[in-house]
Structure 1
């Protein structure tokens, strides 16, 4: 492709919330985009599942729609393929075919990238095409570009953030109103923040896919969703949120990817998604509603925070079109961006080796010696207690323990021991505590 071509043609796969907004933005900002790219961007075709759906509100002729995505991808006049359908199949086949044939791809497909990112990168290299995916994590927040390019000369040590708006809305509602999980989920569904089936969000699958993408970019090592330790928020109770408040914390579903260095200099990465208490003084604690934010720590740049709307048609379409402009410029000049590097090949550590602090609530017998017995089990597992608070009510009492930092495996061993104590009626909750207090 040379700089003489003045029109670049786009194949759009998907015309849902994001795809429709991509069409509108291309129409509305066509002249400005042409000036930025150096060529006009035209839609060659739009692949949809059902041709019978009324799309007369969109500023494109009806003849552009097709229900045969592969035939659209294979057209000689298509330069760039935009995929906003999601899912693993058939999107995998579509994108592999596009990349291998030299057509650059812009995708928002976090699930596919987290599952098969390495294969897509290899196909892009084989076809001499670009693969861009800013919209796959945190919607319209410009996050992957800085990780991929702006911080490429630095050494990133930790990425921690809120990358799922649905769960953040639910936990924010529980914190501000005292509602339980079910009530907060109903509100999120009624307002359109939660899907009819919210499993991917509330069980942490969506955040885990995004964590894999972030870790792969930040640490130059291949990480898949299967490598990510995952817990959702369905077991979080109003009591957990209230207990967090008593120690100056709030509860968030966090995505954490961290570089770890052993005493002998051996490096590895830990990647996890789970609910955690964080101090209200931490920048992430103030991120409420359906907003996303990601906190990045790097050796030279220090601490950086990226914040904004993490989902929705307009923010996500904005990220998609930002990528389209980048790959279109490359098409005009006959170059491609450097592939995301995975030279480090760092091992991914199991969750048992993750080191953090913990908050435990125990229902215990209200009698002499119970606290000593509980403390003994912590000591046996090598977990140091930072604070203890006991409240009695009749024959039972609630014991709240906050630990110093310890390996996850040691804490799990402690919980197993506590459950076997006659004086411990029930382990009410166990939650990690992240950040400084």
Structure 2
């Protein structure tokens, strides 16, 4: 089959995903043409290091040292932005391309989390597409699922494992009993974590993705600034052992909920029941679960990163443009993307897990329960490991449903007790 027309691409950024996208087009050219009714051709590329070996042949493409100039001036229909970063060159590339009437596809979750609403409005003003399937959960087609496949539903909640690095670390810690630092070093050696892993393990990467999903699911402006964010650095192997004993697994979850009063957005370690679908997701795999009023719960899982899965997501947006398929960037017209009421984390209601390290002497538990009583928090269960008057011991308690504000007061008061020898560890429990 010979395509009557060809969509011409300029690619800004030739890292893992950029090279993967070029390799995919080279390998799947006929398939792409058949599925889009148009050919897909790379005509221009830009990156910082022209001489680097990327494992793909770049000789047929026009090289641009300035990606912004390429986005504005290259003879192309669509610009693929794979530079990364929430501002600077990446943002300028997307704006220049759209101002010039070119479609944009990006894998840049930070850019969309910080500037998605403004970029969506610019795309609609200029009559071009802005695709970002690759910005959330790698090869999982969650953007199209929410925006198109499940468009007949109002969503009350979306949550998921949105960072494969953290999921890998927690899986290995639970299965091997090794400490966080040890497993993190292994993850870095395997290429699952960067030399500076803070973006992943401190929850920022997952928070970017959650802000995008919340906007899409709830039809509101992207609101990264109001995402509550915690990472996994303080999770110890002992917490994973206690979780198993209590019938839970610990996952770093991104959770967005819509209530009558507004929207909660939160990223933090979470105890989930072992029978929950999300609990079965291990290693570097990602998963997203949505809750729609007509469809109920839907779970999508798959590779959350990597050259192949992310290039696959990039190409899905490219093929939509090639085939003339268009949907509003965030599911509704951009002018309707208004800020939603953002609810503070202090209003969250749920059960909690708290681990204490205490000096084992008479009256300690009575002091702890007095703190709970004074803050109107009801204890559900308590577990003590070992008894040694010479050494601190671990005590774990779970609570019935209470507010985040009350639990934070409890933590401060417990931390001030003489018998408590290190700051308490708190993990929120999700039973649904």
**Could you tell me how far apart the structure 2 residues matched to 1:316 and 1:339 are?**
19
5+ long unaligned stretches in structure 2 = none
1:433 aligns with 2:432: no
**Could you tell me how far apart the structure 2 residues matched to 1:209 and 1:282 are?**
24
Match of 1:48 in 2: 47
Match of 1:86 in 2: 84
Match of 2:319 in 1: 325
Q: CA deviation at 1:409?
A: 1.0
Match of 1:74, SS state, is helix
Match of 1:29, SS state, is helix
Q: CA deviation at 1:71?
A: 2.5
Out of 282, 303, 311, the residue aligned to residue 297 of structure 2 is 303
**Could you tell me how far apart the structure 2 residues matched to 1:415 and 1:70 are?**
50
**Could you tell me how far apart the structure 1 residues matched to 2:118 and 2:111 are?**
10
Match of 2:175 in 1: 176
CA contact (8 A) 1:363 1:399 kept: yes
**Could you tell me how far apart the structure 1 residues matched to 2:187 and 2:421 are?**
34
1:233 aligns with 2:232: yes
Match of 1:418 in 2: 414
5+ long unaligned stretches in structure 1 = 262-266
Match of 2:396 in 1: 400
Match of 1:203 in 2: 202
**Could you tell me how far apart the structure 2 residues matched to 1:202 and 1:398 are?**
25
Match of 2:211 in 1: 212
Match of 1:357 in 2: 351
Match of 1:305, SS state, is strand
Match of 1:412, SS state, is helix
Q: CA deviation at 1:77?
A: 2.8
CA contact (8 A) 1:100 1:126 kept: no
Aligned positions, number: 423
Q: CA deviation at 1:297?
A: 1.2
**Greater displacement, 15-24 / 396-405:** 396-405
CA contact (8 A) 1:361 1:427 kept: no
Q: How does 1:9-158 map to 2 (within 5 A)?
A: 9-55=8-54, 57-61=55-59, 63-75=61-73, 77-87=75-85, 88-158=87-157
Match of 2:350, SS state, is strand
Q: How does 1:252-331 map to 2 (within 5 A)?
A: 252-261=251-260, 267-330=261-324
CA contact (8 A) 1:51 1:66 kept: no
What do the CA deviations read for 1:160-196 (whole angstroms, capped 9, x no partner)? 1101111111110001000100111111111111111
Match of 2:73, SS state, is coil
Cα separation, partners in 2 of 1:66 and 1:385, compared to 1, 3 Å: same
1:381 aligns with 2:375: yes
Cα separation, partners in 2 of 1:321 and 1:368, compared to 1, 3 Å: same
**Could you tell me how far apart the structure 1 residues matched to 2:430 and 2:185 are?**
28
**Could you tell me how far apart the structure 2 residues matched to 1:12 and 1:357 are?**
48
Match of 2:249 in 1: 250
**Could you tell me how far apart the structure 2 residues matched to 1:391 and 1:39 are?**
65
**Could you tell me how far apart the structure 1 residues matched to 2:231 and 2:153 are?**
32
Match of 1:97, SS state, is helix
**Could you tell me how far apart the structure 2 residues matched to 1:302 and 1:344 are?**
26
Cα separation, partners in 2 of 1:344 and 1:127, compared to 1, 3 Å: closer
CA contact (8 A) 2:43 2:60 kept: no
CA contact (8 A) 2:131 2:329 kept: no
What do the CA deviations read for 1:355-380 (whole angstroms, capped 9, x no partner)? 22111112334344433332221122
Q: CA deviation at 1:308?
A: 0.4
**Could you tell me how far apart the structure 1 residues matched to 2:211 and 2:428 are?**
20
CA contact (8 A) 1:259 1:269 kept: yes
What do the CA deviations read for 1:215-246 (whole angstroms, capped 9, x no partner)? 11111112332211111111111111112121
CA contact (8 A) 2:68 2:89 kept: no
Query: When the two structures are superposed, what TM-score results if normalisation uses the length of structure 2?
Result: 0.93
CA contact (8 A) 2:117 2:337 kept: no
Cα separation, partners in 2 of 1:7 and 1:430, compared to 1, 3 Å: same
**Could you tell me how far apart the structure 2 residues matched to 1:40 and 1:374 are?**
68
Q: CA deviation at 1:328?
A: 1.6
**Could you tell me how far apart the structure 2 residues matched to 1:155 and 1:337 are?**
17
Q: CA deviation at 1:82?
A: 0.7
Q: CA deviation at 1:394?
A: 2.5
